[in-house]
Amino acid sequence: MPKFMYIFRGGAVTSGLSPTEMQAHLQKWYTWADALAKQGRHPGGNPVERRGKTIRGTDRVVTDGPYAEAKDLVTGALILEAASLDEATELALACPVFEYDGSVEVRPIVTEEL
């Protein structure tokens, strides 16, 4: 079955929620991801930290952090199996990232040798 990558941008809640509200939001993520796993669609995924390094250009200049607007920061990724790009997109519509104005980029993964 074809594989796809979900790249989550924004939607990371860091303030303004009570611990109970934060736990409820995280539970939505667990429930959504567990449902995909039970369908045999993915082995797992992880959030990413805000800190990091960026390397750019032919001179390979290293800078601290992926500093962009919060809505554009990559907050996690997940590998998923689906029959088509349309099906992978449909499955992404239930993702909790949208509750806090996040986005999901759905990308097919090249599986044949280049």
In this prediction, residue 90 carries a pLDDT of 95
Predicted confidence (pLDDT) at residue 102 exceeds the cutoff of 80: yes
* 61 belongs to a structural domain: yes
Closest CA to 78 of 38, 59, 54, 106: 106
60 domain-assigned: yes
pTM, rounded to two decimals = 0.78
Contact call for residues 12 and 96 (beta carbons, < 8 A): no
| Residue 57 pLDDT grade (very low, low, confident, very high; cuts 50, 70, 90) | confident
Q: Is residue 114 pLDDT above 60, yes or no?
A: no
Q: Looking at the domain assignment, is residue 113 inside a domain?
A: no
Per the CB < 8 A criterion, the answer to whether 89 and 97 are in contact is no
The range of the structural domain enclosing residue 36 comes to: 3-48+55-108
* Stretch (H or E) spanning 65: none
pLDDT per residue over 61-92, tens digit each? 888 776 666 666 788 889 999 999 999 999 99
Whole-angstrom distance, CA of residue 44 vs CA of residue 77: 9
Alpha helices in 47-106 (DSSP H): 85-92
